[in-house]
A and B are shown apart, each in its own frame.
Chain A
Amino acid sequence: SQKIEQNSEALNIQEGKTATLTCNYTNYSPAYLQWYRQDPGRGPVFLLLIRENEKEKRKERLKVTFDTTLKQSLFHITASQPADSATYLCAPDLEYTPLVFGKGTRLSVIA
């Protein structure tokens, strides 16, 4: 069956450092991969989408990579700030089927 694993349930990082979150998937080949941010008591908010033929996508301090050989996506936040503290969810996208999410990684950026 399809499986999505996000490297760790929680990640603590010092302010100013780069946070790297990992998303691994098995038993399917998504054409796209989406990343979302979820704050406590709120719904997930879309951040970035990367296509299978794109190696890397950037948006301000965010960078996402997508390695279809390794079946892995990395999500980087550079110059992290306490306001980046949230849970980050990855969702490998099979196109035309409802998104299935990983369990998320709770990131805490410590001042």
Chain B
Amino acid sequence: DTAVSQTPKYLVTQMGNDKSIKCEQNLGHDTMYWYKQDSKKFLKIMFSYNNKELIINETVPNRFSPKSPDKAHLNLHINSLELGDSAVYFCASSATGGNSPLHFGNGTRLTVT
């Protein structure tokens, strides 16, 4: 199936740990994104990346870093996890260019204890 897939679906970890979430898309899209949805269901952009350009939301702590081994993957690394990092993280992709719809994965629920 063509899709955006992210793993794991659930991630429970302790404060201070480092963790990664993987994302892969097989839609042939050039641009990938990470969004964070908090407990109030507000979906916030964290990063967008399209091979050459990384756009970072300035409010994202530098403990968060995206890594793209190739065009089809954009993984999210989080260092020194904090309680406030608990949220659902969504990966998405789109064709390059304005007004292209986003295709989302089904999210990774991160719980930091």
Name the distance in Å between A27's Cβ and chain B's nearest Cβ: 17
Determine if B102 is an interface residue (Cβ-Cβ < 8 Å). Answer: yes
Cross-chain contact A103 with B90 (CB below 8 angstroms): no
B48 in contact with A98 (CB, 8 Å):
yes
Say how far B74's CB is from chain A's closest CB, in angstroms. Answer: 13
Q: Which residues of A contact B97 (CB under 8 A)?
A: 96
- Bound Cα distance A96, B55 (Å): 11
A108 to chain B minimum Cβ distance, whole angstroms, is: 15
A99 and B102 contact, Cβ closer than 8 Å, known pairs A44-B43, A104-B41: yes
Residue B103, interface by CB 8 Å: yes
- Nearest-neighbour CB distance to chain A for B5, whole angstroms, equals 11
B99 adjacent to A93 (CB under 8 Å)? yes
Question: What secondary structure prevails in chain A residues at the interface with B?
Answer: loop
- Tell me whether A98 and B41 are in contact (CB under 8 A): no
B23-69 with Cβ < 8 A to chain A: 33, 40-43, 45, 48, 55
Q: Beyond A43-B92, A44-B43, A103-B42, is A49–B33 a contact (Cβ under 8 Å)?
A: no
Q: Give every chain B residue within 8 A of A93 (Cβ-Cβ).
A: 98-99
Look across to chain A and name the residue whose beta carbon is closest to the beta carbon of B9.
A41
Category for how many chain B residues contact A:
20 to 34
Q: How far is the CB of A2 from chain B (nearest CB, A)?
A: 12
Report whether B101 and A43 are in contact in the complex, using a CB–CB cutoff of 8 Å: no
User: What 1/0 flags go to A1-42 for Cβ under 8 Å of B?
Assistant: 000000000000000000000000000000110101000011
Q: Which residues of B contact A45 (CB under 8 A)?
A: 104
Which residue from chain B places its CB closest to the CB of A95 in the assembled complex?
Answer: B98
Pair B41/A103 contact, Cβ less than 8 Å: yes
Choose among A44, A51, A89, A98 the residue with the greatest number of B CB atoms under 10 Å from its CB: A98
- The distance in angstroms between the C-alpha atoms of A100 and B48, with both chains bound, is 12
Residues on A with beta carbons closer than 8 Å to the beta carbon of B92: 43
- The minimal Cβ–Cβ distance linking B33 to chain A, given in whole angstroms, is 6
Q: Who on chain A is nearest to B34 by CB? A: A98
B residues adjacent to A (C-beta < 8 A): 4, 33, 40-43, 45, 48, 55, 90, 92, 97-99, 101-107
